[in-house]
Amino acid sequence: MALFSIPCTRIAGIAASVPATREETGDYRWISQREREQFIRTVGVESRRVVTKGTTTSDLCLAAARRLISDLAWKPEEIGIVLFVSQTRDYLIPATGGILQDRLGLPHSAIALDIHQGCSGYVYGLAVISSLMNTTGIGKGLLLAGDISSRNTSYRDKSTYPLFGDAGAATALELSETSFPMHFNLEGDGSGFDAIIIPDGGIRNGLSRSSFTYKKQGKGVYRNNLQVALDGMKVFNFSLREVVPNVKELLNNTNLTMDSVDHLVFHQANKLINESLRKLLKVEASKIPSSLRQFGNTSSASIPLTMVSELAGELASGKLTLLLSAFGIGLSWGSVLVETERIICPGVLEYR
């Protein structure tokens, strides 16, 4: 358990970018019409945005960041840190954060680094960037979180292909003496590392001829070892077991109740998981925004994308207490209580 608070950092703005290309679950011919209908009803994904070959996560994040910096009227030379959170980096090496530092025109003095996290990455990213800003005194920073999971799924794997969408998000943070502290509860269990995994292509299982061989993994599931393998039942049970105590512990630790929270923004895992978590926490549906229907599970981008697509008006016009809760690959999970007030929110941009 890591329960802690970070003072003096506020979210100044959030933008998200999705590819223009849309794929509909209704057109996914690998499964029957009846299965497609059940998938939409239960998993909740009607369409997803997917990149065309050559577009990277950093391209999506860069587009969102450029728009956000412009709307905030920030100058690149004022930005002292850029943190890139993703599991779909531009290259195996080097890190993508440095490439983004250059493409954004930030000074060499700007800290640039990557965090290799997926579903829980946005909450972890907020913790790391706000900690660094507080300890270094850096006044302005960018958290860029996103994934293009569609590049890593097999069309013949009904458990992953129609679920994952692509997106990138940019969150601008600034030091502010008067801001409400961010309260975190971060946890993890590495023994579940293989619940969501691409087995080959790293150092443990290097690339080999057999990495490319498609194998039947179950009914309707064929993939090779360079594509995402998802143990749905393991992830489902882990989420139902760990997320609710994590959220309750965070609220208890801050002496707050769910009544004080305007919106609970979950990682967009799937409708069945998120709806089960909602029932277990006894929260009314109107408090929990969802972007699953139009964007699917967008991994580390799912929380900022949901904030931007579903709450842009409220974020831009008022003061909100938000509880963000993320969980998944790693296994890794965490939640944060954050207060926003009239932030810059240009909405969801289409990347072409």
Residues that bind another protein in the complex, under the rule CB under 8 A? 35, 38-39, 42-43, 159, 218-219, 232-234, 236-237, 240-241, 244, 272-273, 275-276, 279-282
Measured distance CA(191)–CA(201) in Å, rounded: 20
C-alpha distance from residue 176 to each of 11, 69, 130, 350 (Å): 10, 18, 11, 31
Between 226 and 272, CB nearer to another protein: 272
For the bound state, the minimum distance from the C-beta of residue 196 to another protein, rounded and expressed in Å, comes to 15
For the bound state, the minimum distance from the C-beta of residue 324 to another protein, rounded and expressed in Å, comes to 20
Between 170 and 228, CB nearer to another protein: 228
For the bound state, the minimum distance from the C-beta of residue 204 to another protein, rounded and expressed in Å, comes to 25
β-partners of residue 144 are 84, 170
* Size of the chain in residues: 352
Q: Is 186 helix (H, G, I), strand (E, B) or coil?
A: strand
Between 133 and 281, CB nearer to another protein: 281
Between 42 and 208, CB nearer to another protein: 42
For the bound state, the minimum distance from the C-beta of residue 291 to another protein, rounded and expressed in Å, comes to 21
Q: Is 1 helix (H, G, I), strand (E, B) or coil?
A: coil
Between 243 and 307, CB nearer to another protein: 243
For the bound state, the minimum distance from the C-beta of residue 182 to another protein, rounded and expressed in Å, comes to 25
Buried-exposed string 7-24: b where 16+ CB fall within 10 A, e elsewhere: ebbbbbbbbbbbbebbbe
Residue 287, Cβ density class (10 Å: 0-12 exposed, 13-18 middle, ≥19 buried): middle
CA gyration radius, the chain: 19
